């Protein structure tokens, strides 16, 4: 049974950074990527980036270039997403999801982590 368990909710000040973790278990991850997707309140899904833990290779949506860092610890199959220079518009639920890095579908999702940015 594949499970992705994310870290808990965060409250951050504008200008600070947040780091969200996503620990994977069950199933196989050798040929999979971990993607990060966010959803602002009442809004749609937004793809942020992904990493292939076994290779340590990551790519990001252009919108987040320079502000997001995605890393992974392949020994524990844990992925991390760090977003810096936070602003109020970054208030959202952040999801991690497992996806085939070849076909691209996101088949298992974490429970989501609410990040609130407020002064």
Contact set with another protein (CB under 8 A): 35, 37, 44-47, 49-50, 59-62, 95, 97, 103-107, 109-112
In the complex, what is the shortest distance from the CB of residue 52 to another protein, in angstroms, rounded to a whole number?
12
If the CB atoms of residues 102 and 119 are measured against another protein, the closer one turns out to be 102
If the CB atoms of residues 16 and 107 are measured against another protein, the closer one turns out to be 107
* Secondary structure letter of residue 118 according to DSSP: -
- CA-nearest of 21, 19, 36, 7 to 109 is 36
In the complex, what is the shortest distance from the CB of residue 105 to another protein, in angstroms, rounded to a whole number?
4
In the complex, what is the shortest distance from the CB of residue 27 to another protein, in angstroms, rounded to a whole number?
13
């Amino acid at each position: 049974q594949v499970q992705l368990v994310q870290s808990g909710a965060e409250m951050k000040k504008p200008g600070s950074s947040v780091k969200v973790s996503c620990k994977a278990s069950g199933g196989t991850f050798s040929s999979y990527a971990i993607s990060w997707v966010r959803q602002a309140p009442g809004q749609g899904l937004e793809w942020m980036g992904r990493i292939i833990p076994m290779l340590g290779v990551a790519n990001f949506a252009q919108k987040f270039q320079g502000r997001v860092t995605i890393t992974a610890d392949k020994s524990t199959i844990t992925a991390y997403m760090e977003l810096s220079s936070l602003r109020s518009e970054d208030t959202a639920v952040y999801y991690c999801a497992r996806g085939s890095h070849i076909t691209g579908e996101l088949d298992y999702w974490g429970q989501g982590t609410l990040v609130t940015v407020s002064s």
